[in-house]
Structure 1
Amino acid sequence: MPSRPDLVRRVSAGVAVAGALGLGALGWSSTLLGEYSVIDMGGGHASHIHGSGSVAAGPAGEVSVSELIADPLRPPDVRVELVARRQTVDIPGGRPVEGYTVNGTSPGPTIRATKGDLVEVMLVNESVRAGATLHWHGVDVPNAADGVAGITQDAVPVGGRHVYRFTADDAGTYWYHSHQVSHEQVEGGLLGAVVIEPALPAADPPAKQFRADAVALLHVYGGQHTLNGRVQDEHVPAEPGSTVRIRVINTDQGTAAVWSAAPFRVIATDGHEVNGAAAVDGRKVLIPAGGRVDVAVQAPANGTARLHVGGARSISIGDPASGDAGAAPPARQPSETLDLLAYGDPAPPDFDPRSPDRTFDYTIGRRLGLIDGRPGNFWTINGQLFPDVPMFHVREDDVVVMRIANESGEVHPMHLHGHHVLVLSRDGKPASGSPWWVDSLDVHPGEAYEIAFVADNPGIWSDHCHTLPHAVDGLVAHVMYDGVTTPFTINGGAGNQPE
């Protein structure tokens, strides 16, 4: 494992390039990464915290991320094999593109489970030359199953296999994707949906509240805006007056909008139910990159309702016999956005964020520099270029409050692995609606959010922007639990490149 001086080396190349570009006065810095371990970032075991609550972890009693697993003796309730391939992706209604498939298609198969199930997934890498992993976006898996190359596992080479095991603890809408060269493999289609249904008593009929339940996965393949992998709109048959649940999953690099001319309700965000979801009329809902929104749409007495998803595609809901004559016409995208900070009815969370054990700042900026010999205008965290960024050290059961401030010029959908966070405020305005739980949060330029979570899932967890090219350019930090270590490294012989 490299020492901290080996991890961050100031090199004369930075000065030379900066001087050649006439930018030396701007204070460029240069970093050559080489092989490194994330536990050496932010000062390694010596805490490097911006905020309060410094923790120092020592070697005694350390646990490897590989040991943080689901019950190894429990037989799985759901067993799936997923085969990753580098191949041409057929796009119905559009043109084929070179990309990645899972079991021969993109999106890959939807994994369905019931709350409480033990899920076991075998990943087989048939032909992804750079290696592949699977990250369970939004599912609070044990750290060993997080699927981040170089942190929780080595990338699976061609011909290799890797088993992921986790308990489906929270009903909701999620997705899976590669976290090896993720900016390329996710964009290329190595992904799919995960739906975890609530556990119902045996006497209760399933889907009592919703007559239909449909996945709407949004992705752009080579400039083609698709809905569930097709450049086509979809129809969900529903009896007049019945309610349909549409699970919208935004797998793209930017924000997606959802709207309808007919009223609808936002019933879940990022897998968490909304308390007291009211009708949304004349407003759109924005979904960050990586985020999910479940909406409830009522089929009209005659014809269909149309739900616009992502701007380019739509879903009609209602009588399948009505045909085109009964289809609702397209609706213009509303200018007003639903504010989830004030949507729904308040309810007390199951922890108290008012007296946190740890408080951290995560301030996003930008400045000139070189990373691995690449000159650019890179993202900074608390004023520092990657990898000289903070490591947020926590102890198990800590209540953590983090202030995320965006002092850059672009939107950043921030995603913390292994945890859902509760949004407390935006720009000092307290949340006043239903508890707004997210794992993907758009932070716009000039905005500052306060979020909180309980450190109840030990491990080393990425906390990064889900506009994945931003992560490549340094917008990645980590939450590290006291006493947890990893044997995996990045940029070494295993070829691990998580972003």
Structure 2
Amino acid sequence: MSNLTLTRRSVLASGAAALILPRAVLAAPTVLRAEPVVAQILPKGDGKTAMLGLNGTTPGPELRLKQGERLEVRFENHIGSDSALHWHGIRIDNAMDGVPGMTQDPVPDGGHFDYSFVAPDAGTFWYHSHSRSWEQVEQGLYGPLIVEEVAPPKVDHDVTVVIDDWRLQEDGTLMGGFGNRHDFAHAGRLGNYARAVPSRNKVRRGDRLRLRLINTATARVFPVIISGGAGKIVALDGMPLAAPRDINEIVLAPAQRMDLIVDVTEALRFDFPTREDPYELGRIEVEGENPNPIGGDIPTLPAANVATPDTPVHDLTLTMQGGAMGGRHTGDDIWALNGHSGLPDTPFASFKRGETARIRLINDTAFPHGMHLHGHHFFEEADGTLGDLRDTTLLNRNETRDILCVFDNPGKWLLHCHMLGHQAAGMKTWVEVA
């Protein structure tokens, strides 16, 4: 994992909370208009950054709805090139998945596409471009999607924290070279400036917060140290844990999410550990005292309605190959899965609806990969025991992991590395559920 090489470490604290996430009200169909925007990525007083965004901001509006409600969004594209929106982690109808060339036609500049789906799971999700995603996500086309429980846990504030990095010049200009083959062949496009942006920048001492961390970076794996409070991890990738878990280590691959419930004792800091001093990504300041703290045990979230795997009908292997310092493969691009680069004409695997499969993921490369399956969640497996339920799993170099998935959502679904430059350079395939 590469450390950040930043020039403004001493002023991160003042800039990290400068952008508060806008929220969208869903009483009527929501319009998300993709367009060029100007953002204050660096601290106030420093240069601004020309980006892409939605409804005038990046990140785009935070969309919130209740579990079981329908989300209706008209996506209007005004960025000057094709685009589309993928609803990451939501187990929705295939036609709404937002993958150009697989589930829909690309949305041309000046065009629109209407997305409509029921949110079956409560949890922390997000939406992002799936058209030239290594470029459009890096430029800012993404936003949080929060599905609230019918009976959510009692907290004083529900706070979304978006974590990202950017490759910027000293004046704030976003550097180009999004298709840089050197980046593609190594760890991806790692930024030189990073922030954790909370949707709220002040709380009271004694407040109980639900923190929803989302790693929206295109390549960087973020270890995060949280200080200033005590609490538990309650969900991963939108899926509740069977019981709250101690906060021993937080590591988020690109696209992964984590929910925590934390009681505030002082200013909350989000730090990136480095070989030198911790790098402050962001903070939430404390102002005043809560006279009636909620206190007590951290509650367990309601269990997700996800099918439990049966004995696997399929035992499959998917090997990640290529990249710098990697072995040869038979694909025609930098990266390959089972010797093939890019989407094959036929699926990696086909399933009847409801079948359970075990997929052994083998990282035979020199770099980490965050493998993401569309339309489903899967269980990470260790020594024959079901582990965490996720939609994106991080495999470090030379690591192997088995996942178990009940393929119960019909359609054609991508399976790819969410280090988006790796996906662009060959690390993607697809499965089909009849």
After superposition, residues 440-479 of structure 1 pair within 5 angstroms as: 440-479=392-431
What is the CA–CA distance in structure 1 between the aligned matches of 2:60 and 2:363, rounded to whole Å? 34
- 1:41 aligns with none
Which of residues 125, 134, 157 is equivalent to 2:85?
134
Task: Say if 2:343 is the partner of 1:398.
Answer: no
| Letter matched to residue 259 of structure 1 | I
Query: Match of 2:195?
Result: 226
SS in 2 for 1:248: strand
Q: Contact 1:92–1:229 (CA<8 Å) still a contact in 2?
A: no
Corresponding residue of 2:261: 296
Change (3 A) 1:82 1:406: same
Q: Indicate whether 1:260 and 2:210 are aligned.
A: no
AA aligned to 2:35 is R
Note the C-alpha offset of 1:447. Answer: 1.2
Alpha-carbon contact 1:77-1:117 (below 8 Å) kept: no
How does the TM-score come out when normalised to structure 2? 0.76
Distance in structure 1 (CA, Å) of the matches to 2:267 and 2:424: 43
Match of 2:116 in 1: 165
Aligned position for 1:355: 311
1:212 aligns with 2:157: yes
- In 2, distance between residues paired with 1:466 and 1:78? 32
Which residue of 281, 298, 302 maps to 1:313?
281
CA deviation after TM superposition for structure 1 residue 263, in Å: 3.7
Name the structure 1 match of 2:242.
275
Which stretch has the larger CA shift, 402-411 or 358-367? 358-367
Q: Distance in 1 between matches of 2:134 and 2:330?
A: 20
Q: Residues 159 and 390 of structure 1: is their aligned pair in 2 closer, same or farther, counting only changes over 3 Å?
A: closer
Q: Residue type matched to 2:379 in 1?
A: L
Match for residue 195 of structure 1 among 132, 146, 154: 146
Give distance in 1, aligned partners of 2:287 and 2:216.
29
Partner residue of 2:96 out of 145, 151, 155: 145
* Superposed CA offset, 1:41-87 (max 9, x none): xxxxxxxxxxxxxxxxxxxxxxxxxxxxxxxxxxx966210000134
Q: What amino acid maps onto 1:89 in structure 2? A: A
Q: Deviations over 1:271-305 (max 9, x none)?
A: 0111221332xx321011000001121122xx434
Distance 1:83 1:371, change over 3 A: farther
TM-aligned CA distance change 1:276 to 1:258, over 3 Å: same
Deviation of the 1:421 alpha carbon: 0.7
Which amino acid counterpart does residue 318 of structure 2 have in structure 1?
Y
What is the distance in 1 between the residues matched to 2:34 and 2:118? 23
SS, match of residue 436 in structure 1: strand
Partner-residue secondary structure (3-state), 2:135: helix
Superposition map of 1:408-423 within 5 A: 408-423=365-380
Partner of 1:439: 391
Change (3 A) 1:131 1:370: farther
Aligned identity (percent) is 28
Residue 398 of structure 2 aligns to a residue whose secondary structure is coil
Aligned runs of 1:7-406 on 2, under 5 Å?
A: 79-91=29-41, 93=43, 94-126=46-78, 128-200=79-151, 209-222=154-167, 223-228=192-197, 235-240=201-206, 242-252=207-217, 253-261=219-227, 262-280=229-247, 283-300=248-265, 303-308=266-271, 311-316=279-284, 319-321=286-288, 351=307, 353=309, 355-366=311-322, 367=327, 378-388=334-344, 391-406=348-363
Q: Distance in 2 between matches of 1:476 and 1:369?
A: 15
Work out the CA distance in 1 between the residues paired with 2:158 and 2:404: 31
Q: Distance in 1 between matches of 2:240 and 2:405?
A: 17
Go from structure 1 to structure 2 and tell me whether the alpha carbon gap of 1:348 and 1:170 turns closer, same or farther (over 3 Å shift).
Answer: closer
* Offset from partner CA, 1:398-418 (integer Å, 9 cap, x none): 112111111111100000000
Q: Which residue of 2 aligns with 1:407?
A: 364
Equivalent position SS for 2:73: strand
Structure 2 residue runs of 5 or longer lacking an equivalent are 1-25, 168-191, 274-278, 290-299
CA apart distance, 1:448: 1.0
CA RMSD across the alignment? 2.8
- Contact 2:319/2:363, CA 8 A, preserved across alignment: yes
Q: Which has the higher contact order (CA 8 A, sep 6+)?
A: 1
Give the aligned partner of residue 187 of structure 2: none
Relative to structure 2, which stretch is displaced further, 173-182 or 449-458?
Answer: 449-458
| SS of equivalent residue, structure 2 residue 408 | coil
Name the TM-score, length of structure 1 as normaliser: 0.67
SS in 1 for 2:224: strand
In 1, the alpha carbon distance for the partners of 2:410 and 2:47 equals 44
Partners of 2:410 and 2:306 in 1: how far apart?
Answer: 19
1:236–1:423 Cα change, 3 Å = farther
> CA contact under 8 A between 1:413 and 1:466: conserved in structure 2?
yes
Structure 1 runs not aligned, ≥5 long: 1-75, 201-206, 323-343, 483-499
Distance 1:315 1:153 in 2: 40
The alpha carbon displacement at 1:246 in A equals 0.6
- Tell me the distance in 2 between the aligned counterparts of 1:78 and 1:259: 39
SS of residue matched to 1:183 = helix
Whole-angstrom distance in 2 between the partners of 1:176 and 1:371: 30
Quote the residue 2:381 is aligned against. 424
